[in-house]
Amino acid sequence: MESLNHHEISQLMLSLAVLLGFSRLLGEFARKLQQPSVVGELLAGVLLGPTLLGRFAPEWHAALFPAQGHVAVVFSGMTTLAITLFLLVAGMEVDLSSAWRQGAVAFKVGLLGMLVPFIVGFAGAWFTPRLMGAHADADHLIFALFFATALSISALPVIARTLMDLNLYRSDLGMVIVSAAVFNDLVGWIVFALILGLMGSDGNSGGTIWLTIILTLAFSFGMLTVGRSLIHRILPYIQTHTHWPGGVLSFAFCITLLGAALTEWIGVHAIFGAFLVGVAIGDSSHLREQTRSTIDHFVSFIFAPLFFGSIGLHIDFTAHFDVALVATVLAIACTTKLAGCWAGAWWAGMSRRHRWAVGFGMNARGAMEIILGLLALQAGVIRMRLFVALVVMAIVTSMLSGPLMQRVLARRRLKNVAGLLNSERFIRSLRGRTRNEVIRELAAVACSGTSLNVNDVERAVLQREETMPTAIGNAAALPHSHLDGLTFPIAAIGLSEAGVDFNSPDGVPVHVVIMILTPHRDSAVQLEILADLAGLFRSPGVLEKVQRAADFSELLAALKTEENFEIDGEKKTLGSSIDGTALVRN
Amino acid sequence: MESLNHHEISQLMLSLAVLLGFSRLLGEFARKLQQPSVVGELLAGVLLGPTLLGRFAPEWHAALFPAQGHVAVVFSGMTTLAITLFLLVAGMEVDLSSAWRQGAVAFKVGLLGMLVPFIVGFAGAWFTPRLMGAHADADHLIFALFFATALSISALPVIARTLMDLNLYRSDLGMVIVSAAVFNDLVGWIVFALILGLMGSDGNSGGTIWLTIILTLAFSFGMLTVGRSLIHRILPYIQTHTHWPGGVLSFAFCITLLGAALTEWIGVHAIFGAFLVGVAIGDSSHLREQTRSTIDHFVSFIFAPLFFGSIGLHIDFTAHFDVALVATVLAIACTTKLAGCWAGAWWAGMSRRHRWAVGFGMNARGAMEIILGLLALQAGVIRMRLFVALVVMAIVTSMLSGPLMQRVLARRRLKNVAGLLNSERFIRSLRGRTRNEVIRELAAVACSGTSLNVNDVERAVLQREETMPTAIGNAAALPHSHLDGLTFPIAAIGLSEAGVDFNSPDGVPVHVVIMILTPHRDSAVQLEILADLAGLFRSPGVLEKVQRAADFSELLAALKTEENFEIDGEKKTLGSSIDGTALVRN
């Protein structure tokens, strides 16, 4: 049997490690700068590819990422698989039922937000194909269709993440944007699948094209109706009769691979099948949050970085960077998408601010654009310089989306609790022995570096405390207040070894005190933070870890992991935390 | 760049889907028969390989699982990666610190349990290599060393799972067995790595052999000391500064791949590096349970089935099945391992029953044996018929381990709560309006099909109820009792729409009543079940789902998933569930 030899295995493991390591490192860095991680992952590939490593150390580049031979073939197979799984996850984020509930508004925004870029893009590509970077051999119609689709498709994963960061995901505005993007994605991918069908049949046989188109539409329709309801019926059986979560996990993978094999066989790409399987499986109530997050984590943190990192490995980005084309593509993409969404939002009767927010939100192209471009490049429809321009456009639109929405809605990015803290607002050992002393101590550090007055803060917090004690049991208290002068939330944390009486419901002295000050106009932020913290301290072991924290870094570690654990599952609200109270008696 | 074409991608996806689907299906089936899932996964490969599919539909076999070409190469790369990750997980199960605490006892059992099979196996292979299935070209010494190692190594993952099934994992006996297996595994793998080093250098250059041996020992020692403590120090930093759990997940993968690349480069196999990285990373307290289970789920339910399934794909098991050799290998393996462990346990002063239990427990060879055999086969040290004999031996010893331990310890396999129920013990709508009426109703169904007397059961449960109410809050009550006549636990469940007063701590009427009857001598089982159920009903949403269950199958689905969710994390004890009580006040 043909297999890898000793040297090739070593080479494969090393190159996977290097690519994964670099992609994740730069991906994390991008996130620190509040950018989508795909930006960093792409950059890693560019740095490891001919653009940088290949230029200055060509022998290293060739040894790590060979273009021929067994290792190259395995890499190609694995990245294909990685992108297939990535599309599964992207599909799983599509919530058809709630998109349906948004109804007319989402439809109007989605339709116009798709049509305007499509028509303008089609016209531009049809009349000036060379200017737009068409491949010399490319079919005129196929190129124009591709270019139009590339401009009109949105990146649901990036949009969803941006909305979550801005704490807008569950708002009405957020649901409209997400639902419009769902509509946009679904239609866009089906159109793109049709183009792939046209490409695959090379335009030389009319019969094959029609067969491909009919099969593609039949598959899409079948998967979203019969397939979807079949999957929703099979899932509970699998949960009942198999070892959880293995059964569901394997089932999801198997049907994804089958869907991918089928669409690839039809003549459209494997990822299209994976995407539709993701949509079909994604909104089943039987797909548990933990199964979902197992798939999501593995794909987001292992497969996606490998795929996006691999894109730059064999493409020289500087050599194919065409400033004029980049500027043209970027300008058309942004203006048409903005105009389309704005018009759709206006048609649906949304407020002026929201029209702009919808436009900026939908403008993010992210990973989807790049995948589309790569397929078109491989199929010989576009030239390298258009691919590079599409990648740049995707990155720029994704990076702008969050900040622009933030600006137009005047909304601050919701920080997680750990993000509100800094080492100057952490008191390792509180000196105070009474509640009031402790609150005064914390108020002092909370105010440092702000224009707040310590006495005002102290008074406001104490007043709130008198109204109703903020001890949440389990040796923690969360004194808090809204404040007028603030524009962003502040938290200060203090540990008391002796314990302080905070009138806690369980009568236990309080050892961890976290003071939370929030802007007056933004009451939702305060509720979110309090709910997060309450959830955090309900998890067993957190209190001990926080109390044992010797320095700020250890404190962050204790808070961060648990807190994200909470957020990964369904976010708990104040209501559900009260339900969760149960005493075990034996 | 060399990559897969359209047809190959479709073929790859389809063959992965078929292999994964079959492996998991038969794996689940094996688990239903209370056997390790690896048994079913191996069988899937055998059925899809030349043994069955290749015999009756050779063109299908060739189309799905080609032996040459791009798809074969990708398959080879992916299975190598799969087994590398499987060894990472196997390594992560090795808990060095607690193995160390078992000290002398585990050492004695581990040492003799390893030495006896090693010496007997070495002697047999040295004096009668052809009889034992040595390859004609194989080096005499290398073959004897391999054969000896193959007989003496244990399968920690199988052993650990068997002990968990028997509810022995946290017992003293369980810890001794696991620790001895850890010792056994570590030493065995290092010896095997040395043999691989000898193989790799082909015996023709003394210098290279010594270099390989020195590098292998240096890597092992370095990884378990400096490497381990370095990893334990880096992990908290990664948790603090990266997006959880992505940072830790990627870090674990990167160092695994690096370790694999390094050991493969040294000349021993990639999996050895992955195993040691697993050991080093596994007992860090900073590796959170959820990260661990994400890796574990993906590897156990996706990668491992693909690897074990792939083994049979190109090997004809019937053609190479040599009854005499199978019987010889099986007999030597079982007798020497049993004798060695028995002697070790006797030396350590263990009781007579425990000596046998240790022997039966350690006898499981499982996946490790098969991996060892496959590497030796690929390296040309053993013949196909010995490989088949080793696979059979591994399967048989793994299958016998649990039942034999169970018999010698007279211990019933602990069933999970859902496993205790059956549709006859489920009352969809309780007729009773008072506590006593409801208990009588449930006692009646609990006793059906047993020799228990309803009145006795009712009296015992009520007596227990009078001593202390068993309502656990959150609208659930768990009336229970130890009973003399019982040999296994029984549960009955009833739903009440109107609600029944059970003196619950929160004053809420009880809607879900689960009666638990356990054998008198086995108080641990009762505690476990109660703790599980209490944990279950603390999770938000479970109560609603259970109440809404229209039939037994829906009830099972609701109980099963949530229950396993609890078990996947750290199993909560009664103590910790009381800690978890917190009221959120705002």
The residue type of A177 is I
Residue A45 Cα, gap to closest chain B Cα (Å): 15
Q: What is the pLDDT of residue A414?
A: 45
Regions of chain B where pLDDT drops below 50 = 203-205, 412-415, 561-586
Q: Do A577 and B572 touch (CB under 8 A)?
A: no
Q: How many CB pairs under 8 A join A and B?
A: 322
- What residue in B sits closest to A287 (Cα-Cα)? B561
Q: What is the pLDDT of residue B325?
A: 92
Residues of chain B positioned with their CB less than 8 A from the CB of A241:
28
Angle (deg, nearest 10), helices B70-92 and B366-378 = 140
Reported as a pLDDT band with limits 50, 70 and 90, residue A579 is very low
Residues of chain B positioned with their CB less than 8 A from the CB of A300:
246
Reported as a pLDDT band with limits 50, 70 and 90, residue A342 is very high
Is the whole-model pTM more than 0.80?
no
Alpha-carbon span A25 to A33, nearest angstrom = 13
Residue A519, SS3 per DSSP: strand
Q: What is the pLDDT of residue B191?
A: 84
Q: Give the fold, CATH level 3, of B72-409.
A: Na+/H+ antiporter like fold (1.20.1530)
Q: Do B297 and A260 touch (CB under 8 A)?
A: no
Letter string b/e over residues B542-576, b meaning 16 or more CB atoms within 10 A of that residue's CB: bbebbbebeebeebbbbbbbbbbbbbbeeebbeee
Residue A585 Cα, gap to closest chain B Cα (Å): 6
pLDDT single digits (tens) B399-453: 888 888 878 876 544 445 666 777 778 888 888 888 888 998 888 888 877 777 8
Residues of chain B positioned with their CB less than 8 A from the CB of A471:
585
Residues of chain A positioned with their CB less than 8 A from the CB of B258:
13-14, 17
- Chain A interface test: which of B241, B465, B554, B585 (most A C-beta within 10 Å): B585
Residue A401: both structure tokens together:
């989306």
Alpha-carbon span A545 to A560, nearest angstrom = 11
Residue B326 Cα, gap to closest chain A Cα (Å): 25
Q: Which of A21, A24, A270 sits opposite B13 (nearest CB)?
A: A270
A133 and A320 in contact (C-beta within 8 Å)?
A: no
ipTM of the complex model: 0.70
CATH match of A417-573 with 3.40.930.10:
yes
Beta strands in B462-509 (DSSP E): 471-473, 476-477, 480-483, 490-500
Q: What is the pLDDT of residue A122?
A: 93
Counting every residue written for chain A, the total comes to 586
Residue B318, burial from CB neighbour count under 10 angstroms (0-12, 13-18, 19+):
exposed
Higher per-residue pLDDT: A518 or A234: A234
Q: How far apart are the first and last CA of chain B?
A: 61
Residue A263: both structure tokens together:
């669409």
Q: Do A84 and B260 touch (CB under 8 A)?
A: no
Q: How does DSSP assign A149-206, residue by residue?
A: HHHH---HHHHHHHHHHTT-TTSHHHHHHHHHHHHHHHHHHHHHHHHHHHHHTTTT-H
**Are B72-409 and B417-578 the same fold in CATH?**
no
Q: Is the pLDDT of residue A583 over 70?
A: no
Q: Do B553 and A305 touch (CB under 8 A)?
A: no
Q: Do B586 and A572 touch (CB under 8 A)?
A: no
Q: What is the pLDDT of residue A207?
A: 60
Using only C-alpha atoms, what is the Rg of chain B? Answer: 27
Q: What is the pLDDT of residue A466?
A: 79
Across residues A245-270, what is the average pLDDT? 88
Using only C-alpha atoms, what is the Rg of chain A? Answer: 27
Q: Give the fold, CATH level 3, of B417-578.
A: Mannitol-specific EII; Chain A (3.40.930)
pLDDT single digits (tens) A182-216: 888 778 878 887 887 777 655 445 566 778 778 88
Residues of chain B positioned with their CB less than 8 A from the CB of A37:
243
Q: Do A3 and B76 touch (CB under 8 A)?
A: yes
Residues of chain B positioned with their CB less than 8 A from the CB of A249:
297-298, 301-302
Domain ranges of chain A: 6-71, 72-409, 417-573
Q: How far does CA A197 lie from the centroid of its chain?
A: 29
Across residues A100-111, what is the average pLDDT? 83
Cα dihedral angle (B374, B375, B377, B378), rounded to 10 degrees? 120
Residues of chain A positioned with their CB less than 8 A from the CB of B13:
84, 257-258, 260-261, 264, 270
Q: Do A247 and B580 touch (CB under 8 A)?
A: no
How many Cα atoms sit within 13 Å of B289 on the Cβ side? 13
Alpha-carbon span B199 to B266, nearest angstrom = 12
Q: Is the pLDDT of residue A398 over 80?
A: yes
Counting every residue written for chain B, the total comes to 586
